[in-house]
Structure 1
Amino acid sequence: MRIKLNLTKKYLLGILLVGGSLLSFTKPGDRFFEIAKNLDIYATVFKELNTYYVDDVDPKKSIETSIEALLKSFDPYTVYYPENEIDEFLQMTTGKYQGIGIILSEINQSQRISFIEENSPAHLAGLGIGDQIVRINGTLLSDSPETDPAILMKGSAGSTVQLEVLQVGQSIPKSFAIKRETVQIKNVVNAAIVRPGIGYILLEDFNASATKEVKAALIELKKQGMQKLILDLRNNPGGLLTQAIDICNLFIPKGAKIVETRGKVEEWNKSYQALNQAIDTETPMVVLINNRTASAAEIVAGVLQDYDRAVIMGQKSFGKGLVQVTRDLPYRTKMKITTAKYYIPSGRCIQALDYKNKNADGTAKAFQDSSAKVFHTQNGRKVVDGGGILPDQLIQKKPLSAFAQALLAKDMLFLFASEFHGAHSNIARAESFAVDADILEQFNAWLAKSHFSYEAPVENQVKKLLEQTRDQAEYVEFQQLLHSQTTHWKTNLARELKLHAMEITPLLEQEIIMHYYLQKGLNTWSTRKDPSILSAIDLLGKPTKFATLLSRQEKP
């Protein structure tokens, strides 16, 4: 038999030598002995595979697969970044990337522009939301389903990407040569006076320029006469801890404790205080959160709650109270490691899931409300740990109907908005546009001609009921009875649309406005029609109720 030999052996030899060296200085039962023993076993297993397995072993792919499997046993935030993903990592931390300013999504079995940055190279070249990318640098995407379009789009600033695009409303693809630039991802995507005296800041991220953007927005809004503020942290996944600390410092006095991190490496434990003079400690403030407000965004919300600096409104936040640090690894690779939990000024940690003590199926255990510990804000209000930040003022959010969920899951609202955009060159301004009965009727007609299939819950239940009686003597009779009622139960799209018109209308408005006016237009629409923003505006108009929410609630 011919033995396979390659350069991998010298790397394996290095691992084996390390493992062997450790073993020679440790003893059974010692933690380092266990590490050395298992490294030795792992290296030997890979050596055997590389030498004897019937097919060639790809060392890079195999090792990366094993690393991913290893990290999955910890938590989803401990992540390895191979060399080809470093650009993605840098984008998350710096907020910068080299490209043309679009996001592609697979919609209706094609790659379409689902987001475009205003004034980006793609936008200035004439591309828009809904446009279908047919070719990238000569590669026909329909012939390359395994190819990631994002990889094809990559390139350094100053280089050119060649695109063939089927634009909305057109039947023939058009060629574009677009020069890549360094694109800065905005943290603050909207800052405006939404009602007389009420400012609004929508903060979507916490990359390296977040504090600078929030500070600039605050100063500008004050110039415009802001007397009250809404800070919108909904759907904000967090980011850099340093930015969360500095943003808190904008609203709380110098010297105030902001957050403490505690982990296994004691010398890494640290308490962070506000180092600078705040620029606004008095303006009445509402912070909006929801179940997708996480990490650094939760720190900001939690700190402002603990100091009674703002009323928190919305739904309970995500509950990520874990801190990661980035470690450089050989060959331009990196990894993020969860090293600590963070504790906000009241002393509470808001981590919702226990990744150490998992359920039998391997999922993390959820925090139980019954085990919550009580803490207190600066004014003596009761707050609890675990499970995220609980709002001071809950805004009930009605779950979407099964019909609306199906429309969104199959991108039907997006596809109709694209076709609508192609057929209508302009619409009313974003602040006044509304989906009326005529547009709903157009959507209904379009939906009927589409390949959209939907089974209403009642229809699904009837089918399940019929299946459960299959083995019974009365099955045939029951089947005939149910079939006689089919026309009554069978889903009628027009009926469903009419039934859920109030729910579908704002969703459709958002899609259409995004196609015409991009993110800026959607922001304008939101400040006029978003129920949570309207609730915050209403509360800020009731100073007595606002003050009561921030006061200690004594038992009667």
Structure 2
Amino acid sequence: MNKNFKKPVILLLVSFLTLSLLFSFATKNDKLFAIAKNLDIFASLVRELDSYYVDEINADELVTIGINAMLEELDPYTEFIPEENSDDFRMMTTGEYAGVGALIGNRIGSNMILMPYKGFPAQSAGLRIGDEILKVDTVNVVNSLTSDISKLLKGPANTNVFVQVKRGTDTISVNLTRKKIVISNVPFYGKLDDQTGYIKLSDFTTNAASDVRNALVDLKSQGITRLVLDVRDNPGGILKEAVDIVNLFVPKGKEVVRTIGKLENVNSVYKTTKSPVDKDIPMVVLINERSASAAEIVAGALQDYDRAVLIGRRTFGKGLVQTTVPLSYNAQVKITTAKYYIPSGRCIQAIDYSQENRDENGNSISIPDSLRKEFKTKNGRIVLDGAGIEPDQKTESKSFAPITYSLVARNLVFEYGNKFFLENEMISNPRDFVVTDEIYADFVASLEGKDYDYTTYVEKTLDDLEKYALREKFFDDIKPTIEDLKKKVSHNKEQDLITFKFEIKEALREELVSRYYFQQGIVEASLVNDEDVIAALGILSNPAEINRVLTASAK
């Protein structure tokens, strides 16, 4: 249909429907009348803007902005999904799409492959991290948006796509056959020591429970007698997968979560339906501030049944249920319809989920315990609602020096990864590989002439103090002191490269490992000096301590 013809037709249809609502409900329900009236006003407004506004307007864009602004007044998770975004939404919820199996993005001014997924067309054809994408089929994409390149790479399964990339000074061309891409929810599992298994669960898309089950069964066949389940940085996903994962460790017939909302048809109780794989194996679940939704259900349910010790930091606090409802013209809306309640009866949703009351990382600001209700686990331990899931053993979040942030943010670590990969055909396995002093010296040499300046936290504080002193007319009195402090704390990049050598080496190590062992290698390499993993190994090696933590006397 002609676009210019389609727009007024849509507006007329909206007006007709809203007028019909007006006449149908005016005498029946004041609330429905108010909805119909305001819909009619909205449609009239857009129609008049289209007719009289001095410049041409984009009705689709204006309406979408209006819809999104309206939904922002409700909660962060009620979301409008226009037709053109439906494929991306399906991939987020199912983990499935048809394409070449590679994450792409813009680095150092070029569109590059950031991660080829192991076993899929891009990786199988030899494409690697850092390959600059030059052409897709006949389209030159050097100056294209990453999102546009992504669309070109995707397509129906079993269709062909030509890709040309630049690697160093070489130009490489490959013909790929698109495949249905199903990204594993378990990017890595393995043994931390002879007795301890480890499973990294990164998502809750389709087959998450099956992925965890397969990993658990394999680890048990290798003789593990204890387990670490890692749901840190897991944003959640499909509820059923969360229930089935809990069922791997909890007997049949146990309640995992219930949903309670305004309408009766959204109220449900979800219980375990199968015999568990192992209901006795000592467990630790790792959580952090970016563990959300289904990840919180798994961690919270296992905590409520005193089935696992939780180590890490308080979770995100996302306990709202979304239901996807189809709209006209193939659009959809994801509506919050209920809240999650785990076995103890507590709700994992943060008391205040408005964006204004979250920090710069999206985490809810601390909620006073006086506003939270007490509940009890199976063994009688006190747990609180209203702010996500609290760990049984808290660890501190990892922080990095400003120089490390600068080197990573300015893609200097990434650039060195490209250089190193071109010069070294292979490295040892992810756990054994170390960034030697020779490699580190080569990295430092690669920084020559490159900008990676930064401001330390103390320097910024002194700058702020100077501004306030000038504003409040105290500067002359404290000027000598401020200048003396600035001299003492003034950072030296060369010295910082020595002082923070260990953590810069760790950033380099993960980057270099990713070139040879992909996503799986990054996870495995990160475990070596992981404080949470070290804490998990400590408690799992002490059955008496596990028993102490999981009993009421622990609180």
The TM-score with structure 2 as length reference comes to 0.91
**Residues 1:476 and 1:494: Cα distance change in structure 2 (over 3 Å):** same
Which of 169, 172, 175 matches 1:174? 172
**Residues 1:465 and 1:526: Cα distance change in structure 2 (over 3 Å):** closer
How far apart are residue 553 of structure 1 and its match? 1.2
How far apart are residue 515 of structure 1 and its match? 1.3
Which of 213, 216, 219 matches 2:217? 219
Which of 258, 263, 274 matches 1:276? 274
Question: Is 2:258–2:340's contact at 8 Å kept on the other side of the alignment?
Answer: yes
**Residues 1:124 and 1:357: Cα distance change in structure 2 (over 3 Å):** closer
Partner of 1:345: 343
**Residues 1:356 and 1:191: Cα distance change in structure 2 (over 3 Å):** closer
**Residues 1:120 and 1:364: Cα distance change in structure 2 (over 3 Å):** closer
Question: Is 1:113–1:128's contact at 8 Å kept on the other side of the alignment?
Answer: yes
Rounded to whole Å, the distance in 2 between the matches of 1:86 and 1:457 is 43
Partner of 2:57: 57
Rounded to whole Å, the distance in 1 between the matches of 2:346 and 2:547 is 24
How far apart are residue 242 of structure 1 and its match? 0.9
Question: Is 1:259–1:344's contact at 8 Å kept on the other side of the alignment?
Answer: yes
How far apart are residue 392 of structure 1 and its match? 0.7
How far apart are residue 12 of structure 1 and its match? 2.1
Rounded to whole Å, the distance in 2 between the matches of 1:435 and 1:71 is 49
How far apart are residue 470 of structure 1 and its match? 6.0
Partner of 2:328: 330
Partner of 1:157: 157
Partner of 2:525: 525
The 5-angstrom pairing of residues 243-282 of structure 1 reads 243-282=241-280
**Residues 1:162 and 1:492: Cα distance change in structure 2 (over 3 Å):** farther
How far apart are residue 433 of structure 1 and its match? 0.9
* Partner SS state of residue 352, structure 2: strand
Cα-to-partner distance string for 1:323-369 (whole Å, 9 max, x where unaligned)? 111112233222211100010000001112534797799x9985443
Question: Is 1:28–1:34's contact at 8 Å kept on the other side of the alignment?
Answer: no
Partner of 2:423: 423
Question: Is 1:324–1:336's contact at 8 Å kept on the other side of the alignment?
Answer: yes
* Partner SS state of residue 164, structure 2: strand
Letter in structure 2 aligned against 1:8: K
Partner of 2:240: 242
Partner of 2:381: 381
Partner of 1:287: 285
Question: Is 1:5–1:51's contact at 8 Å kept on the other side of the alignment?
Answer: no
How many positions carry a matched residue from both structures?
549
How far apart are residue 99 of structure 1 and its match? 1.0
* Partner SS state of residue 97, structure 1: strand
Root-mean-square deviation (CA, aligned residues, Å) is 3.0
Question: Is 2:402–2:455's contact at 8 Å kept on the other side of the alignment?
Answer: no
Cα-to-partner distance string for 1:403-435 (whole Å, 9 max, x where unaligned)? 222233223222222222222222233221111
Question: Is 1:347–1:375's contact at 8 Å kept on the other side of the alignment?
Answer: yes
Letter in structure 2 aligned against 1:14: L
Rounded to whole Å, the distance in 2 between the matches of 1:293 and 1:471 is 43
**Residues 1:476 and 1:364: Cα distance change in structure 2 (over 3 Å):** closer
How far apart are residue 504 of structure 1 and its match? 1.9
Question: Is 2:260–2:338's contact at 8 Å kept on the other side of the alignment?
Answer: yes
Partner of 1:36: 36
Question: Is 2:289–2:363's contact at 8 Å kept on the other side of the alignment?
Answer: no
How far apart are residue 27 of structure 1 and its match? 5.5
Cα-to-partner distance string for 1:207-239 (whole Å, 9 max, x where unaligned)? 111111111222222211121111111111110
Rounded to whole Å, the distance in 2 between the matches of 1:124 and 1:531 is 35
1:91 aligns with 2:91: yes
Letter in structure 1 aligned against 2:16: L
The 5-angstrom pairing of residues 360-399 of structure 1 reads 366=365, 367-399=367-399
* Partner SS state of residue 553, structure 1: helix
* Partner SS state of residue 175, structure 2: strand
Letter in structure 1 aligned against 2:248: L
Partner of 1:550: 550
The TM-score with structure 1 as length reference comes to 0.91
* Partner SS state of residue 291, structure 1: coil
* Partner SS state of residue 10, structure 1: helix
Rounded to whole Å, the distance in 1 between the matches of 2:497 and 2:347 is 44
**Residues 1:486 and 1:441: Cα distance change in structure 2 (over 3 Å):** farther
* Partner SS state of residue 453, structure 2: coil
Letter in structure 1 aligned against 2:536: A
Rounded to whole Å, the distance in 2 between the matches of 1:532 and 1:437 is 27
Question: Is 1:102–1:122's contact at 8 Å kept on the other side of the alignment?
Answer: yes
Question: Is 2:232–2:291's contact at 8 Å kept on the other side of the alignment?
Answer: yes
Rounded to whole Å, the distance in 1 between the matches of 2:143 and 2:432 is 43
